[in-house]
Chains A and B, each alone.
Chain A
Amino acid sequence: MSGKRIVIDPITRIEGHLRIEVVVDDNNVVQEAYSASTLWRGIEQVVKNRDPRDAGFFTQRVCGVCTFSHYKAGIIAVENALGIKPPLNANLTRTLMNSALFLHDHIVHFYQLHGLDWADITSALKADPKKASEEAFKWCDYPLVAGEDKLKEVQAKVAEFAAKGNLGPFANAYWGHSSYKFTPEQNLIVLSHYLECLRIQRIAAQLMAIFGAKQPHPQSLTVGGVTCVMDLLDPSRLGEYMSKLAEIREFVNRAYYPDVLMAAAMYKDEPSVLGDIGVSNLYTFKEFQIGKNEWLFDSGIIMDGDISKVLPVDAELITEEATHAWYADDEPLKPYDGKTNPHYTGLVDGESIGSDGEMVHTKVLNTSGKYTWIKAPRYGGKPLQVGPLANIVVNYALGNKYVVPVVDEFLSRTGLPLSAVFSTLGRTAARMLEAKIVADNTMLAFNALVENLKVDQETCAKYEIDNDKEYKGYYMGHVPRGALSHWCRIKDGVISNWQAVVPSTWNASPKDAIGQMGAYEACLIGTKLSDVTKPLEIIRKIHSYDPCIACAVHVMDAKGAKLGEYKLDASLV
């Protein structure tokens, strides 16, 4: 029988509530795919009529993982509206906090969220620790926590854990799946790094907290600048930042990088992680101010995978529509005309392949109608892919001096052509390369800050809000999951509307009115599953985007002005 449906809900090891459904043919090849968010919170309505200075605190709670991204975006959109230019110290401090977020997000993604899709920890129990240690040296001159003794200890710890017969959070996963490609020794190395990452991620969180008060949900930004002036003027605090950054950088270069090299070598013959670009229109935006007039990454758009041509971003071309989303208004609208009136039509009765391979009665998405809380954003009518893959490829194509040598070296060490980047493996590798570029260059911003503090200790610009005036402003940038923008209007001294177009909305988009798929859905088509009761190939692909769904659930509502009224002044962003 052809056309069997597989429901995967919950997709775990992500932020938020995500459901994936696919239909496979007789050969277990995916013919249709649907991506659905199953939670709506309505923060778009909550933020209205609030004091604009509070906007950042509300937008921050869109996501506790991207805990700095939306905070900064909410603050900058208001600054932009009010015409405030924060002092250089504030901008550079924000860069230091942003680095902490990127590094935290990317390492946790690879090990805690995505790693178990690549490494079978049960296989690590069979490894020879001595051989494993030798293996680690193949991929890195100075591997971290990968000496024979350390690996023995890790193996013993996990063996003891497994022997108890209760795997806790590791229970009932797809262990032993045929698409796992690492040797037992390689699995043991990744497992050791998994455990080490639990420690390192705490340091990355502290890195944020030094100037940010806490992580998640830091609290030291304010409209006009930053509030952590005492920390900035305290050399011991600066020293803390420097040394913690160095420790994380070591982890990136001596664990994360070699593990991805190893994955590239072992998985380059695994069809389910290659050639699945899904959506080959790539979009990224300028981010990481590292000097007075210098940024780490630049903006651009690549259409149809043509890296010979990078187009400037034209925000005028962005629309969102809700043909297949649980909102009342279907037609494509520019962000400032967007409407967010919930219209929930629910799931319908159906059948799906159960965990034992038999068809079972369950609920399924009404795929001919509305089936998700995520709208379909489009750029000139086309879907875009955002994220580290887009950021690295666009910046490589632009000849960015911080990006090109790192990509070239990676390609030469893996022996892969640039085209291999357009894949699940490529997304995973690009995220690591982005982490490396951030880790290796954050000291540029740090040093620029220290230099500037010698002559200038301003941390916050003064401003006034005129209740009789109307304001509008935006933030556009690149966050760990891709291009993010926030748009706001202020009237009578309060927020009159707010709009966010977020990375996971682009990638997790449902179909639009003419049936075009978003990146999650498109990349699944044609995937052959080796075991329909254990759809590891699907999970691995979806995880490669690092789904973060809370923010994608169309965040803010706005009516009124046209996006085109804004001139994009890149120096403000």
Chain B
Amino acid sequence: MAIQNALELASKRLDELSKLSTLKSGKSGIMQTLSEHGFSRRDFMKWAGAMTAFMALPASMTPMVARAAELADRLPVIWLHMAECTGCSESLLRTDAPSIDSLIFDYISLEYHETIMAAAGWQAEHNLEHAIEEYKGRYILLVEGGIPTGESEYYLTVGPHGTSGKTHAVKASENAAAIFAIGTCSSFGGIQAAAPNPSNSVGLSKITSKPVINVPGCPPSEKNIVGNVLNFLLFGTLPALDIFNRPKWAYGLRIHDLCERRGRFDAGEFVQHFGDEGAKQGYCLYKVGCKGPYTFNNCSRERFNQHTSWPVQAGHGCIGCSEPDFWDTMGPFEEPMADRLYDTVLGLGADSVSDKVGIGVLALTGIGIAAHAAIASTRKNEE
């Protein structure tokens, strides 16, 4: 039944979208562009199937994913930079394997993005104002970076009028069709909001009354950024979210759940220090600080840079970068949580993430993990 409802919802949404006038005149469909680049309809459907699976949607929705992508040029996008390092923008730029991902990127209409846009100064400011006005209620807003507030609101200003970042973000939020906080900084405040937060930075959801979908990660993978835009196109409503407003399709599982070293964990085989024999053999990284058991993200499935690698593959544990306040709660990054079990696991944001896993249950899991590691350690690593 749930699937049937989703199909109906998506279908209705696509009908609505297809009634909208295109931003670009002429025969500008994605298939047109694809065929110009040597991609066949079949390639395209294959890709849509992959995206469907990637978003954890039933295979029967593949044609709808394809249709959503074809309608993507209806979507003006505004991307704002707040207090950030530009890592999330850099991640967005990496999107392209298969290379048609970047066509999706082309096929949104990117109205404002400071790292990419050609215009500067007054002309850039004009582009932003124009987009907010012209596409009222229709544009997607993506925000990168924490937002300085309170007395330090003007620790960030943008534009000739010296407008605060907060004012920009609030204004752009008012009439956005959907709002995505891209990265841990705009989701939860990020590194500048770590103790003692000298710039009083907060996540986007703290300064707007509009619903904000959080896409955390430092940075989030290119797949999670693009996948969320598609998710919006499909349903026209917010995706299913966890209690931190993260889309469940991307953040529903722990890193640990699908980790390639999970077998080593279960077998009690642990790296004791970086560079040891266990490290050469691909043992589990829990004891050198991996936060995979406490972190909800799809890194272990999707990896980064077109599946090239991810931290655990490169022999370093997860640092928990998609969890709220991870800078303050997950460190030291190269020590296991077990050492500080009660004051971290019980007080940690990740514990109450999934509505499937209650706080108590996850705390028990945490204790279980620590106990497992300790027992396995005495048993296995004495040779």
Please report A residues at the B interface, Cβ cutoff 8 Å. 7-17, 38-43, 45-46, 50-51, 53-54, 57-58, 61-65, 67, 87, 108, 112-113, 116, 153, 156-157, 160, 163-166, 168-174, 198-199, 201-202, 205-206, 208-222, 224-231, 233, 342, 344, 346-347, 352, 354-355, 362-363, 457-462, 533, 535, 539, 550
Contact = CB atoms under 8 A, between A and B. Distances in A.
A164 B25 contact: yes
A217 to B, nearest CB: 6
Contacts of B138: none
A213 B310 contact: yes
Interface string B145-189: 010100010111111111001000000000000000000000000
Nearest to B185: A61
Contacts, number: 307
Interface in B117-147: 117-127, 146
Interface of B: 23-26, 28, 36, 81, 83-91, 93-94, 96-97, 99, 102, 109-111, 113-127, 146, 148, 152, 154-162, 165, 190-192, 194-199, 201, 218-219, 221, 273-275, 279-280, 282, 303-306, 308-311, 313-316, 319, 327, 331-335
B158 A12 contact: no
Given A53-B334, A215-B305, A219-B314, A169 B113 contact: yes
Given A16-B86, A50-B332, 14 more contacts: A10-B114, A17-B81, A40-B155, A45-B198, A46-B192, A164-B23, A169-B111, A202-B305, A215-B304, A216-B90, A222-B316, A226-B315, A362-B160, A460-B279
Given A39-B83, A213-B313, A116 B118 contact: yes
Nearest to A171: B127
Contacts of B126: 172, 355
A229 B84 CA distance: 32
A16 B221 CA distance: 21
Contacts of A58: 191, 327
A163 B22 CA distance: 14
Contacts of A233: 280
Nearest to A46: B194
A17 B165 CA distance: 11
A457 B279 CA distance: 12
A231 B110 contact: no
B196 A45 contact: yes
Contacts of A50: 331-332
Nearest to B82: A39
A225 B89 contact: no
A164 B89 CA distance: 26
B94 A535 contact: no
B191 A43 contact: yes
Given A57-B319, A215-B304, A64 B90 contact: yes
A13 B83 contact: no
The 5 nearest A-B residue pairs measured at CB? A64-B87, A460-B275, A42-B198, A173-B118, A363-B162
A459 to B, nearest CB: 4
A484 to B, nearest CB: 15
Most buried by A among B109, B116, B306, B315: B315
Contacts of A229: 275, 279-280, 315
Contact of A39 (B99, B155, B305): B155
B84 A64 contact: yes
Nearest to A153: B36
Most buried by B among A14, A17, A221: A17
A227 B162 contact: no
A186 B115 CA distance: 24
Contact of B25 (A13, A16, A165): A165
A202 B333 contact: no
Most buried by A among B89, B97, B157, B303: B157
A211 B159 contact: no
A9 B121 contact: yes
A367 B351 CA distance: 50
18 contacts: A10-B114, A38-B157, A39-B155, A41-B83, A45-B198, A53-B333, A54-B331, A57-B333, A164-B26, A173-B123, A202-B94, A206-B306, A209-B308, A227-B316, A344-B155, A457-B280, A539-B120, A550-B86
Contact of A13 (B99, B117, B190, B274): B117
Given A41-B83, A172-B127, A199 B96 contact: yes
A65 B90 contact: yes
A220 B122 contact: no
A45 to B, nearest CB: 5
B157 A220 contact: no
A157 B96 contact: no
A210 B191 contact: no
B199 A40 contact: yes
B158 A10 contact: yes
A51 B328 CA distance: 11
A407 to B, nearest CB: 30
Given A213-B313, A220-B316, A170 B305 contact: no
A354 to B, nearest CB: 6
A146 to B, nearest CB: 18
Nearest to B156: A39
Contacts of B23: 164, 166
A188 B199 CA distance: 45
Nearest to A6: B121
A550 B120 contact: no
Nearest to B115: A13
Contacts of A225: 274-275
A460 B274 contact: yes
A373 B99 CA distance: 40
B161 to A, nearest CB: 6
B87 A355 contact: no
Contacts of B160: 7, 9, 352, 362-363
B116 A112 contact: yes
B304 A209 contact: yes
Contact of A172 (B123, B314, B315): B123
Contact of A219 (B24, B89, B116, B311): B311
Nearest to A41: B192
Contacts of A108: 93
B97 A202 contact: yes
Contacts of A224: 274-275
Most buried by B among A12, A67, A163, A550: A12
Contacts of A461: 275
Contacts of B87: 61, 63-65, 67, 216-217
A59 B249 CA distance: 31
Nearest to A61: B191
A342 B198 contact: yes
Contacts of A217: 87, 218-219
Nearest to A535: B121
A160 B28 contact: yes
A214 B305 contact: yes
Contacts of A228: 314-316
A13 B152 CA distance: 26
Contacts of A344: 152, 154-155
B54 to A, nearest CB: 18
A216 B309 CA distance: 12
A230 B315 contact: yes
